[in-house]
């Protein structure tokens, strides 16, 4: 008997495409998973995890071969990662989605828009006990010159920090806000 081979091009149902993609990922076959996930996202499958996983696979590709300056993501790479993440935000939010949004901006040579920063701040507000997300969100805001947003996130992180080392991270980040950066107005 010949092995049964499933191809995304032969499956018309977006949800089934997403399920196959998630299954292939769970089985360790990310190449095949990506084929199904790309098709599922194009078909607008109602499966938020499929959008997140596709973005994660694109993120891994970008980390492996960054096309921007100084080993950072190009604007096109960032857009390809952020697009499925933005689509996944139409469903109940998950902290992993916001974490990957923040990590993408940390590694990108393009500057986030005001709207992007609003989304980052919103994500940190939705998951206030996730101090790692709050810290990384504050770092992106600080790095891009959004000092007021960074300061607000730092204040929130300091209130919810569970240990002294976490508070210390936030305090060190706060001290960078006072330092003027060349070419960035606060």
62's tokens: 């970008």
Counted domains in the chain: 2
Q: Where are the alpha helices (DSSP H) in 89-130?
A: 95-106, 114-126
Note whether 116 and 83 are same-domain residues.
Answer: no
Note whether 89 and 137 are same-domain residues.
Answer: no
pLDDT tens digits in sequence order for the chain, 186 residues long: 666 667 777 677 888 889 989 999 999 999 999 999 999 999 999 899 999 999 999 999 999 999 999 999 999 999 999 999 999 999 898 999 999 999 999 999 999 999 999 999 999 999 999 999 999 999 999 999 999 999 999 999 999 998 999 999 999 999 998 655 454 444
Q: The pTM is what?
A: 0.86
Single out the residue of 106, 153, 108, 88 nearest to residue 127, CA to CA.
Answer: 153
Domain boundary among 83, 110, 137: 110
Domain boundary among 77, 110, 143: 110
CATH number at residue 94: 1.25.40.10
Show the domain range for 184: 111-186
Q: Where are the alpha helices (DSSP H) in 43-126?
A: 48-64, 75-88, 95-106, 114-126
Note whether 106 and 116 are same-domain residues.
Answer: no
Single out the residue of 123, 121, 122, 125 nearest to residue 138, CA to CA.
Answer: 121
Report pLDDT for 93.
87
Note whether 100 and 127 are same-domain residues.
Answer: no
Domain boundary among 79, 110, 141: 110
Report pLDDT for 185.
47
**Is 169 inside a domain boundary?**
yes
**Is 3 inside a domain boundary?**
no
Note whether 124 and 176 are same-domain residues.
Answer: yes
């Amino acid at each position: 008997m010949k092995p049964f081979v499933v191809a995304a091009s032969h499956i018309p149902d977006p949800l089934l495409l997403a399920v196959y993609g998630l299954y292939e990922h769970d089985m360790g076959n990310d190449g095949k998973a990506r084929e199904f996930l790309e098709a599922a996202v194009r078909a607008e499958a109602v499966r938020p995890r499929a959008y997140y996983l596709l973005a994660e696979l694109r993120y891994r590709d970008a980390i492996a071969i960054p096309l921007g300056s100084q080993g950072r993501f190009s604007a096109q790479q960032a857009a390809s990662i952020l697009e499925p993440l933005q689509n996944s935000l139409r469903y109940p939010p998950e902290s992993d989605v916001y974490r990957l949004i923040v990590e993408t901006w940390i590694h990108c040579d393009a500057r986030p828009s005001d709207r992007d920063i609003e989304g980052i701040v919103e994500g940190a507000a939705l998951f206030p006990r996730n101090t790692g997300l709050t810290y990384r969100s504050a770092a992106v805001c600080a790095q891009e010159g959004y000092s007021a947003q960074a300061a607000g996130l730092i204040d929130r992180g300091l209130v919810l920090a569970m240990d002294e080392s976490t508070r210390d991270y936030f305090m060190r980040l706060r001290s960078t806000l006072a330092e003027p950066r060349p070419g960035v107005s606060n």
